[in-house]
A and B are shown apart, each in its own frame.
Chain A
Amino acid sequence: MNQIAIIARLEIRRAFFSRRALWVYLLALFPAALFLGRGVSVNYDRREYAAKPATPAVVLDRLPVGTTDAAALAAAGPPLRDHTWKRAQTTHRSLHYFDGSNRVWLQFENGALKNTRRLPLNSFDQDLRVYAGVFQYFYLRLAVFFGCLGIFINLFRGEMIDKSLHYWFLAPVRREILVLGKYCAGLIAAAAIFGGGALLSFGALLSYQTAADVEPYLRMDALAHGFWYVLAAVLGCAGYGSVFLAAGLVLRNPIIPAIVMLLWESINGFLPELLQKLSVLHYLQSLCPVPAPIDPSAPPLARMILSPAAPSSVWAALLGLVALTALVLWAATRTARRLEINYGTE
């Protein structure tokens, strides 16, 4: 036990600041940057429109289809923007208004109102769904995946390349303990980086919402959602980490396990149920609090790949992931016991 802590302490600096660490941080911070950027753009829009005259929504809503543009202008007053263009035989005109929280476009064809398009400055519900999508499709599938590849595969493979692995083997430490100690170091680093990244991006998502949206959310779901997102990221590190640590024990080339794992995780939806249980993503998806949006018009193949695997209950998912990680780590310790120092063929 104590030895695991000593190994993890000796190893942790390297896990955080490895040669290849920079892109790991970039991956982890990407969603936070994305939502911070979105926040900046939303706030900019808000300021822009705040300075403009608002037309009450009731006025705009009262205009029935077929109203002439002249009548609309008379009822709603001068628009923010007035745009006319001609295509084929039809004259199009678009009058742009702001009703205080939505941007509204009245669209005319040949002088008659065809439809009214309304877009809120920002929709919290929609942002929550976008966040869920980014988290599942980008963060868990790619960022955590490749980040763990970078951190964990080098725990052993990196030292074989540096020809320094034998120092660990010459310590009075069981190989099993060595594997676990290194795994802990990797896990602490990965969990801090990607758990932190999840927390930051979730904070960024909430940072620019209106008080009216955020306050009820903070009272109701925010804490639970944030918790599950961070937990899913951390457990993702635990699961992928064990796999890549094991891969680093046996394979020299990091590309191979990356491709194999990525394929395995992607086709997982097609596999029989028993094999699905051997996928990290399978469990992670059940832990995400908000289902990721999926375009119903997407081709069935794409939907198969992206769609959440057969959802298990949260506790089953937690247990399953822990069991899967333990199984892989056990296999890794078995391999490490027989591992030999073989720098000769590098």
Chain B
Amino acid sequence: MSHDLILFDGVSKFYGEVLGVNKVDLQIPPGITSLVGPNGSGKTTLMNLMAGLIHPGRGSVFVRGISPFAPEKLMRILGYATQYDAAPRGLTGFDFVRAGLLLHGFAAAEAARRAEAAIATVALTHAAPRKIAAYSKGMRQRIRLAQAIAHDPAVLVLDEPLNGLDPLVRAETIALFRDYAARGHHVILSSHVLQEVDVFSDQVILIANGRIVAEGAIRSVREEIHEHPSQFLLQCRQPARLAALLFEQADILEARIDPAGSGLRVLTRQRAAFADAIQRIALSGVVIDGVLPMDENVDALYEYLIGGGQ
């Protein structure tokens, strides 16, 4: 058992019939790791599994050698700012952070001191005496971050921590992540948008439909998506003519007339160029009834990541 890795070993989680994540194997070293994927891809599910808020239906999870079934040990080294927006009823920001520290066993004075420090780190000192219920969305996000870092955990798990932050706070928050990672800690965060996190992440895990589609250092992940050819089914009445035009105008690896007679199957690596070519060909008068991605996960993710940059 490795004591400075977060390990997922064949982890599957279903919510009744609904797939959360499927057969996930991961070994996450310390540093900043970003989980990137579209809505419903399973990012929150992975994080909840790490923190023991949910338990795997199959497989096992270990966080620096500790099982999430032992919260009394795990939570000493883990801080988790969830995506759930609710705050306990009637608490001020300060009370909220301090309550967490009291549960960690800090004496009252020390808990108060640490709570103040954590709140100062997220620049919320002015709002600390106010009820969380009256906070804005971004402020609630930051107070949750303050609670997650208040006991200085070795593993910091943050679900969409940059959502709703203004640019200044965002830069400060990212600096905080870097600082944390530089001390040999884990920082695990999630995002919808690759471009948002790739500049400061040491590692990126791309996830779609509950599966890990690519993982590794940011450059290799980019290449992995790029190298992974994707397949489309072009529905048309003149597949042979379309194939000829495509070989001329786009960088495609393969084109086959679909045996079922519904059109043309195409394999390409250059999705953006391919999409442009299709558009040009269609405008020139060749009737194309539909473009169906045949390789769901990667394509959906690719489309998504391209779209996310806009």
Residue of B nearest to A163 (CB): B86
Question: A337, B48: Cβ atoms under 8 Å?
Answer: no
Q: Is A169 an interface residue (CB 8 A)?
A: yes
Q: For B52, what are the chain A residues with a Cβ–Cβ distance below 8 Å?
A: 169
B64-106 contacts to A, CB under 8 A, are 69, 71-76, 79-80, 82, 84-90, 99-100, 102-105
**Assembled-state Cα–Cα distance A164/B52 (Å):** 15
Q: For A6, what are the chain B residues with a Cβ–Cβ distance below 8 Å?
A: 102-103, 105
Q: For B90, what are the chain A residues with a Cβ–Cβ distance below 8 Å?
A: 14
**Assembled-state Cα–Cα distance A173/B86 (Å):** 21
Question: A340, B54: Cβ atoms under 8 Å?
Answer: yes
**Assembled-state Cα–Cα distance A170/B79 (Å):** 8
Contact among A10, A162, A169 for B89, CB-based, below 8 A: A162
Contact among A7, A14, A342 for B103, CB-based, below 8 A: A7
Q: For A3, what are the chain B residues with a Cβ–Cβ distance below 8 Å?
A: 103, 105
Question: A2, B86: Cβ atoms under 8 Å?
Answer: no
Least Cβ–Cβ distance between B77 and chain A, in angstroms: 9
**Assembled-state Cα–Cα distance A7/B75 (Å):** 16
**Assembled-state Cα–Cα distance A342/B13 (Å):** 13
Q: Is B51 an interface residue (CB 8 A)?
A: yes
Knowing A3-B105, A163-B84, A163-B86, say if A175 contacts B71 (CB, 8 Å): yes
Contact among A162, A173, A341 for B54, CB-based, below 8 A: A341
Question: B100, A171: Cβ atoms under 8 Å?
Answer: yes
Knowing A2-B105, A175-B71, say if A166 contacts B54 (CB, 8 Å): no
What is the interface size of chain B, counting residues whose CB is below 8 A from a CB of the partner? 30
Least Cβ–Cβ distance between B69 and chain A, in angstroms: 7
Q: Is A338 an interface residue (CB 8 A)?
A: yes
Residue of A nearest to B101 (CB): A171
Q: For B55, what are the chain A residues with a Cβ–Cβ distance below 8 Å?
A: 338, 340
Question: B51, A164: Cβ atoms under 8 Å?
Answer: no
Question: A167, B88: Cβ atoms under 8 Å?
Answer: yes
Least Cβ–Cβ distance between A31 and chain B, in angstroms: 31
**Assembled-state Cα–Cα distance A203/B85 (Å):** 48
Residue of B nearest to A181 (CB): B103
Q: For A2, what are the chain B residues with a Cβ–Cβ distance below 8 Å?
A: 105
Residue of A nearest to B51 (CB): A170
Question: B53, A172: Cβ atoms under 8 Å?
Answer: no
Q: Is A344 an interface residue (CB 8 A)?
A: yes
Residue of B nearest to A158 (CB): B89
Knowing A7-B103, A162-B89, say if A341 contacts B48 (CB, 8 Å): yes
Write out, one digit per residue, whether chain A residues 1-15 have a CB within 8 A of any chain B CB (1) or not (0): 011001100100010
Q: Is A174 an interface residue (CB 8 A)?
A: yes
**Assembled-state Cα–Cα distance A310/B271 (Å):** 80
Least Cβ–Cβ distance between B16 and chain A, in angstroms: 9
Q: For B104, what are the chain A residues with a Cβ–Cβ distance below 8 Å?
A: 171-172
Contact among B80, B102, B105 for A170, CB-based, below 8 A: B80
Q: For A7, what are the chain B residues with a Cβ–Cβ distance below 8 Å?
A: 103
Residue of B nearest to A17 (CB): B90
Q: For A14, what are the chain B residues with a Cβ–Cβ distance below 8 Å?
A: 89-90
Residue of A nearest to B148 (CB): A170
Least Cβ–Cβ distance between B141 and chain A, in angstroms: 15
Q: Is A137 an interface residue (CB 8 A)?
A: no
Q: Is A270 an interface residue (CB 8 A)?
A: no
Q: Is A343 an interface residue (CB 8 A)?
A: yes
Knowing A171-B71, A171-B75, say if A341 contacts B53 (CB, 8 Å): yes
**Assembled-state Cα–Cα distance A46/B52 (Å):** 68
Q: For A341, what are the chain B residues with a Cβ–Cβ distance below 8 Å?
A: 48, 53-54
**Assembled-state Cα–Cα distance A3/B87 (Å):** 22
Question: B74, A10: Cβ atoms under 8 Å?
Answer: no
Residue of B nearest to A7 (CB): B103
Question: B89, A172: Cβ atoms under 8 Å?
Answer: no
**Assembled-state Cα–Cα distance A175/B69 (Å):** 9
Question: B84, A337: Cβ atoms under 8 Å?
Answer: no
Q: For B74, what are the chain A residues with a Cβ–Cβ distance below 8 Å?
A: 172
Q: For B87, what are the chain A residues with a Cβ–Cβ distance below 8 Å?
A: 164
Knowing A3-B105, A164-B88, say if A170 contacts B99 (CB, 8 Å): no
Question: B73, A172: Cβ atoms under 8 Å?
Answer: yes
Question: B71, A172: Cβ atoms under 8 Å?
Answer: yes
Q: For A166, what are the chain B residues with a Cβ–Cβ distance below 8 Å?
A: 53, 82, 84
Interface set of B (CB-CB < 8 Å, partner A) = 15, 48, 51-55, 69, 71-76, 79-80, 82, 84-90, 99-100, 102-105
If A169-B53, A173-B75 are given as contacts, then 9 extra A-B residue pairs at C-beta distance below 8 Å, sorted by A number, are A10-B99, A10-B102, A162-B88, A166-B53, A169-B52, A170-B79, A171-B75, A173-B103, A174-B72
Interface set of A (CB-CB < 8 Å, partner B) = 2-3, 6-7, 10, 14, 159, 162-164, 166-167, 169-175, 177, 337-338, 340-344
Some 23 contacts from A to B, beta carbons below 8 A apart, are A6-B103, A6-B105, A14-B89, A159-B88, A162-B89, A163-B84, A164-B87, A164-B89, A166-B53, A166-B82, A169-B53, A170-B75, A170-B79, A170-B80, A172-B76, A175-B71, A177-B72, A337-B69, A341-B53, A341-B54, A342-B15, A343-B84, A344-B15
Q: Please name the 9 residue pairs, one residue from A and one from B, whose CB atoms are nearest each other, closest first.
A: A172-B75, A163-B86, A171-B103, A341-B53, A340-B54, A164-B88, A174-B72, A172-B76, A172-B72
